[in-house]
Structures are given as C-alpha cells and as structure tokens.
Structure 1
Amino acid sequence: MKTIVLATAIRILIPLFIIFSVYTLFRGHNHPGGGFIGGLIGSIAFVFHTMTHGPQHTVDTFLKLNLYGYPRQPNQSRSLYLMRMMRVNVWRRRKMARHPDMKHHMVRIESVYIIATGLFLAVTSGVLGLLSGQPFMHAYWTDFYIPVLGKPGTPILFDLGVYLLVIGVVLKITFVMSEE
C-alpha cells in the first residue's frame, strides 16, 4: 500500500515517534512511561514504514550499517588503527569512501540481536545488585545530575534494556508477518 500521501506523512512522523519514544523512555522512572511504552511508541515508526515501503526497504533504511576501513598496516598500533577507522566512519565518510585502498563492509543489524542486547542490559541492571550483596534489581544511583535525564542509575539501564527488547520483538513480528 504505497501512496504518496502516506509515504510523505510517514517520512515526517518517524522522527516525531522516535523523539517521543526516547522522551517517554527517560521520564519513565519518575513519571508514567518507561522502557515498555517508549519501545511501543518507537516501534510504531518502524511498523508504519514497513506497511508503506515493505520490509526490505525498512531493513535497508534503518538496520544496515555501512562500515569503511583501510587494511591494517603491520607497524601500526591497534589504538591508532581504531582511531583512523573512527575518523573514516564518522567524520569523513563520503570523502574517504572513494579512496582506492578503502574497503566497504555492510553490516545488517538483525532484530534478534536487538532483542538479545535489550535482554542483556535488563538482566545486567539486576545482577549489579546481586554482585554487591543486595537483592536482585537493587537500584544504584549516581551522585551527579544530568539536566534533561536527572540522576542516572540502574533503573534507566533496565528501562533501556526493555526499550530495546520491545523494539526488537515488534520488529521481528512485523518482518515475519509482512513477508508472508
């Protein structure tokens, strides 16, 4: 179902959905919201994009990373090599992509890996309490205050894990249902 009006509306609404989902994620430990609701709001953007453009275009747009790199020189240290790769992939990508020695790698982020990362973050936030002799899911807070986020702590880590878990599950369901 590809119409010009729907495709234009989705292109405008996707950033709004993502921004509102991140806002809901970070206000969740003090007010209603959090990782689950934020993940559902964020996944609406991907569901609408898949409905409009199809699953392959959604994967190509949002879930593929283009990585560029030089071959590692024998006398080059690892830290210098990593800094050079970061400079190529972040700051000077378009100019350096045409260099003859440059190698191009395309990495697809699978929805299963998003689910696994979210589950790992959520469990890690609970295990931190166990490692210090406290009950599971004991909350730890930092001493500093970030103006927009508040005091970061393990509940934000848990909410971020749930956020990624929900987005990964909804992406997986959407891709499976849209391909059949």
Structure 2
Amino acid sequence: MKTLILSVAIKLLIPVFIVFSLYTLFRGHNHPGGGFIGGLIGAIAFVFHTMTHGPQQTVDTFLKVNLYGYPRQPNQSRSLYLMRMMRVNVWRRRRKARQPNLNEKMIRLEPIYIIATGLLLAASSGVVGLMFGHPYMHAFWADFYIPILGKPGTPILFDIGVYLLVIGVVLKITFVMSEE
C-alpha cells in the first residue's frame, strides 16, 4: 500500500511514536507503563513504515549502521586509536569527503540480535540481587535523582530489556509476514 499521504504521514509520525514510547518506558518504573507498552508503541512506527515502504527499506533506514575508521598505524597506542575512531564516527560525513583513506563498514542489526540483547538485559538485571545475597529480581535503587528518569535502579534495566525484546519480536514478525 503505497500512497503519498500515508507515506508522508508515517515519516512525520515515526518520531512521535518513538518519543512517546521512550516516555512510556521511563515513566513505567514509577507509574503505569513500562517496557512492554513502550515497546509496543515504538514497534508501531516500524510496522507502519514496513507497511508503506516495504521491509527492505525499513531495514535500510533503521537497522543498518555504517562505521567508519582509519587503518591502525603500527606505532599508535590503542587508546589514541579508539579515541580517533569514536571521533571519526561522529563527524564521518565531513571527513569522508576530505579523507579518501577512511574505511567504511556496514553492520546490519537483525531483529534476533535485538531480541537476544533485550532478553540478556532483562534476565541479568535480576542477578544483581543474587550477587548481594538477596532473592533474584530484588530491586536496587541509586541514591541520586536524574530529572527526566527519576531514581535509576535495576527495575529500569528490566524495563529496557523488555522494551528491546518486544520491539525485536514485533520487527521479526512484521518482516516475516511482509515477505510472504
């Protein structure tokens, strides 16, 4: 279904869906909401984009990461090399035009990797309690307050894991169903 109105509307609504899903995610450990609802709201953006532009365009737009780098010099220390690599990935477009010896590597984020990362984060957030002699999934909270997030703790790690898990599962289902 490729209509011009839907295509333009989706491009405008995707940032709204993502921002609202992040708001719901971070609001969830103090109020109703959290990782599951935030993940579903965030996945709506990708589902609508896949409906209008197809799965390949969605992958090309959201799930491909280009990394740029220089060849490592033999006498260069590892820390200087890593700092230079981080700097070049931030300013890659300008440097690519000026420096042709810049290497480029593309990484595709598969939905199964997003699922695995979310599951690992959600499951490992409960291990913190075991390390301190408490039951599994015992909540620990920090002693400081972050203005938008509130007091960070292990429940927000669990919510972020569930958020990634839900987005990955919905992406996988959407891609499989749209290819058939």
Query: What's the TM-score once normalised by structure 2's chain length?
Result: 0.98
Give ranges in structure 2 of 5+ residues lacking alignment: none
Deviation at 1:101, TM superposition (A): 1.1
- Give SS of 1:60's match: helix
Give ranges in structure 1 of 5+ residues lacking alignment: none
Q: Which residue of 1 is the match for residue 113 of structure 2? A: 113
- Structure 1 counterpart of 2:3, one-letter code: T
- Give SS of 1:105's match: strand
Q: Distance in 2 between matches of 1:109 and 1:86?
A: 19
% same residue: 78
Q: Which residue of 2 is the match for residue 102 of structure 1? A: 102
Q: Which residue of 2 is the match for residue 130 of structure 1? A: 130
Q: Which residue of 2 is the match for residue 86 of structure 1? A: 86
Q: Which residue of 2 is the match for residue 174 of structure 1? A: 174
Q: Distance in 2 between matches of 1:152 and 1:95?
A: 37
- Structure 2 counterpart of 1:63, one-letter code: L
Q: Distance in 1 between matches of 2:87 and 2:29?
A: 36
Q: Which residue of 1 is the match for residue 17 of structure 2? A: 17
Give the superposed CA RMSD: 0.6
- Structure 1 counterpart of 2:93, one-letter code: R
- Structure 1 counterpart of 2:95, one-letter code: M
Query: What's the TM-score once normalised by structure 1's chain length?
Result: 0.98
Q: Which residue of 1 is the match for residue 160 of structure 2? A: 160
- Give SS of 1:67's match: strand
Instruction: Find runs of 4+ consecutive structure 1 residues off by over 6 angstroms.
Output: none
- Structure 2 counterpart of 1:123, one-letter code: A
Q: Which residue of 1 is the match for residue 145 of structure 2? A: 145
Deviation at 1:131, TM superposition (A): 1.2
Deviation at 1:148, TM superposition (A): 1.1
